[in-house]
Structure 1
């Protein structure tokens, strides 16, 4: 039996394109399930799951959403039903990957469907707005794939067939090749950046692996934080070492490089043991090719590359960040320790380095001491986050947690 792909789209208006996708998948030896998310019209031939099945899964009916006379309300109802139906079908083992086709309306629905499916399920969206700034990072599933539906607004043609056939082959190939996450060892989720700025993972990863744990390090540049939070919410981690929570500041100050409002909350809500620190706490990342906001025009900055520029926070802004971190950690239901290395939070803020700001560092540390919630243990270290003393302190506390049964083997 070949891998089975769930194809989702509005069959009343995109029947030819959706049927073409199915034909390509079948030609390559795959199988197909079809789901219609139309509202007003009907497909030329019956689909495996009709629009009535979809809205029923969302708790309403086609008649009810038509009566609302609002296409936005209608498509949100279809999105809710499609996400619920797809999630249930996947739990039942009915398909191995999903392919959704759409313009802006269909893409809105596709994002909900993909977010409802676990990491490791191939998720492909063929969209006329792929890669558009209309799509907020918070809506993107951790492993979603998007292909631009070039020349595909209305009807089949040679241009759009190139995109559609690639998408069909890609999702089928992914379903055949994917190695779905299988936890054979307890998993530690860690956040960080490249070794030029944060280095603790170099020591911590092999040390934790030697203790029988697996370590996944997430690049905290928006989507990495989204993936980290998603897995934490699903209970994938035995513990987290969230040492680079900089996306919190990005979101606070309006950067597009955001992991969303929920950053630094999922592990706490799930009761996952948390070790947290201040990696790059003082920086705000902005898209390098966008003009900097007026408020940061005269701020010291580090041009990391042509995609990313980091600006330095003022002491008052660092106090705001410290309070926001503490506010988020206050909602934790499991054990939390915050390591405060009072000599700095990344390689660029060491004494003599380009972004050194002793007053700003002191302001952050002072605010963390004042605002730290009662249930959060604050461990101050006379060290820099990249010093060996930091990693040694983390491992010592981790060993204590393992011995006490707080972190399960």
Structure 2
């Protein structure tokens, strides 16, 4: 197998000096091989460039485009489309072991989309960006892209930028070596783009969690430890839900315990933890056994108290911590959320899908005596789910427990392993 190799992606017409600085550090200081890929608008000609702009059009198999006639946004989207298949092919053939990029908003957007689309989870990805100190969600999405703030603009070498670029080169070199070692020794198979099953016979089970449903998930993990499975816990922060859905669409899961569906509330009411409109759709489409509950649909997440939109100032608000303010969903909100749950599950296989309703509270905050206890809102939620799934064959099971009650969790886990056909191999914890 080749020596550890880093794909260095950048706009050589505007960042050549900085890219060559990193190229030199990777090759001469860290012993890496480096493939510099030029994704600039204007073609550059330098002997250190491994894949020139003209090569991108030639190798991608997509008809070339005259970039000079396009506005900046279309230039970026065109280069993304042509670069993705090239980088994906390099990764699939083990020709590269990590990817690094330097850029401002445009270059970071280009590189991030290429990395997300072409490189699987677990493959090292690092972007040095002027945008890394702000909201990086548009760049990272549901992937594992790492971002490093350049502090100063990537526009000329100086002592601040050189220190940052030195660190980036060292970081990606270490990650590339780790990836190279994994492949050489095949001790931890990298996830492929097809996300094929690992050599072991363990089944993969995804579980969704939030702080107010943590006791339930902790107990579920303990129960599932008795079965031949590996659990993957997704924090329901928006990115977590999107990652679960993306992996479900790739047929990665053997079963899903979607205990915490709170991201639907943020999507509906403008909270900060929305997972988008695809949430709660991919598992059913993939025909994977799933138990769905209504965890934390009693709340919407906002930032600090002063960031809560004015239209919600009269609502039931709870300061979770100085950075997060929770808002209780109203009966009207809950009726809509229940309809959404039903609509998104309606097409799923009724033999592989059940909804479990914790009548005594959907989170630690909505049980009797807590700030979000609201029986009217809960009834609106539960009734809408039942009404929406009526006639679909999907079972809605109401249990006289709250969501964190061990008895409720045990019931869900038992039904999921039954649907999956799993038998215990160890004594339950």
TM norm structure 1: 0.92
Kindly indicate whether the alpha-carbon contact (under 8 Å) linking 2:12 and 2:44 is maintained by their aligned counterparts in 1. yes
- Per the alignment, residue 7 of structure 1 pairs with 8
Residue 282 to residue 95, structure 1, CA distance change in 2 (3 Å) = same
RMSD of aligned C-alpha atoms? Answer: 2.2
Query: How does 1:193-212 map onto structure 2 within 5 Å?
Result: 193-194=210-211, 197-212=213-228
Residue 176 to residue 307, structure 1, CA distance change in 2 (3 Å) = farther
- What is the CA–CA distance in structure 2 between the aligned matches of 1:157 and 1:241, rounded to whole Å? 51
- What is the CA–CA distance in structure 1 between the aligned matches of 2:305 and 2:24, rounded to whole Å? 41
CA deviation map 1:212-233 (0-9, x unaligned): 1111111111222232222222
- What is the CA–CA distance in structure 1 between the aligned matches of 2:294 and 2:138, rounded to whole Å? 23
- Per the alignment, residue 213 of structure 1 pairs with 229
- Per the alignment, residue 144 of structure 2 pairs with 143
CA deviation map 1:213-256 (0-9, x unaligned): 11111111122223222222222211111111111111121223
Cα offset, 1:271, TM superposition: 2.3
- What is the CA–CA distance in structure 2 between the aligned matches of 1:376 and 1:23, rounded to whole Å? 60
Tell me which moved more, 178-187 or 15-24. 178-187
Kindly indicate whether the alpha-carbon contact (under 8 Å) linking 1:142 and 1:230 is maintained by their aligned counterparts in 2. no
- Per the alignment, residue 398 of structure 1 pairs with 416
- Per the alignment, residue 426 of structure 2 pairs with none
Q: Secondary structure in 2 aligned to 1:311? A: strand
- Per the alignment, residue 380 of structure 1 pairs with 398
Residue 129 to residue 399, structure 1, CA distance change in 2 (3 Å) = closer
The number of equivalent residue pairs is 401
- What is the CA–CA distance in structure 1 between the aligned matches of 2:100 and 2:418, rounded to whole Å? 46
- What is the CA–CA distance in structure 1 between the aligned matches of 2:394 and 2:219, rounded to whole Å? 25
- What is the CA–CA distance in structure 2 between the aligned matches of 1:141 and 1:198, rounded to whole Å? 21
Residue 92 to residue 375, structure 1, CA distance change in 2 (3 Å) = farther
Residue 218 to residue 389, structure 1, CA distance change in 2 (3 Å) = same
Kindly indicate whether the alpha-carbon contact (under 8 Å) linking 2:12 and 2:39 is maintained by their aligned counterparts in 1. yes
CA deviation map 1:99-123 (0-9, x unaligned): 0111111111112112111100011
Tell me which moved more, 72-81 or 135-144. 135-144
Aligned partner (choices 316, 320, 343) of residue 304 of structure 1: 320
Query: How does 1:286-325 map onto structure 2 within 5 Å?
Result: 286-288=302-304, 291-325=307-341
- What is the CA–CA distance in structure 1 between the aligned matches of 2:40 and 2:393, rounded to whole Å? 50
Say whether residues 1:266 and 2:267 are aligned partners.
no
Kindly indicate whether the alpha-carbon contact (under 8 Å) linking 1:15 and 1:44 is maintained by their aligned counterparts in 2. no
Q: Secondary structure in 2 aligned to 1:155? A: coil
Residue 328 to residue 106, structure 1, CA distance change in 2 (3 Å) = same
CA deviation map 1:337-389 (0-9, x unaligned): 11111111111111111211011111111111111261532222122111122
Kindly indicate whether the alpha-carbon contact (under 8 Å) linking 1:138 and 1:259 is maintained by their aligned counterparts in 2. no
Residue 137 to residue 209, structure 1, CA distance change in 2 (3 Å) = farther
- Per the alignment, residue 169 of structure 1 pairs with 170
Kindly indicate whether the alpha-carbon contact (under 8 Å) linking 1:268 and 1:333 is maintained by their aligned counterparts in 2. yes
Q: Secondary structure in 2 aligned to 1:326? A: helix
- Per the alignment, residue 90 of structure 1 pairs with 91
CA deviation map 1:190-226 (0-9, x unaligned): 00023x5431122211221211111111111122223
Kindly indicate whether the alpha-carbon contact (under 8 Å) linking 2:22 and 2:169 is maintained by their aligned counterparts in 1. yes
Contiguous gaps of at least 5 residues in structure 1 = none
Contiguous gaps of at least 5 residues in structure 2 = 180-187, 192-196, 424-429
Cα offset, 1:270, TM superposition: 2.3
Residue 400 to residue 137, structure 1, CA distance change in 2 (3 Å) = same
Tell me which moved more, 140-149 or 371-380. 371-380
Residue 9 to residue 280, structure 1, CA distance change in 2 (3 Å) = same
- Per the alignment, residue 45 of structure 1 pairs with 47
Tell me which moved more, 286-295 or 5-14. 286-295
- Per the alignment, residue 380 of structure 2 pairs with 363
Kindly indicate whether the alpha-carbon contact (under 8 Å) linking 1:265 and 1:328 is maintained by their aligned counterparts in 2. yes
- What is the CA–CA distance in structure 1 between the aligned matches of 2:377 and 2:130, rounded to whole Å? 45
Kindly indicate whether the alpha-carbon contact (under 8 Å) linking 1:257 and 1:287 is maintained by their aligned counterparts in 2. no
Cα offset, 1:176, TM superposition: 2.7
- What is the CA–CA distance in structure 2 between the aligned matches of 1:317 and 1:281, rounded to whole Å? 9
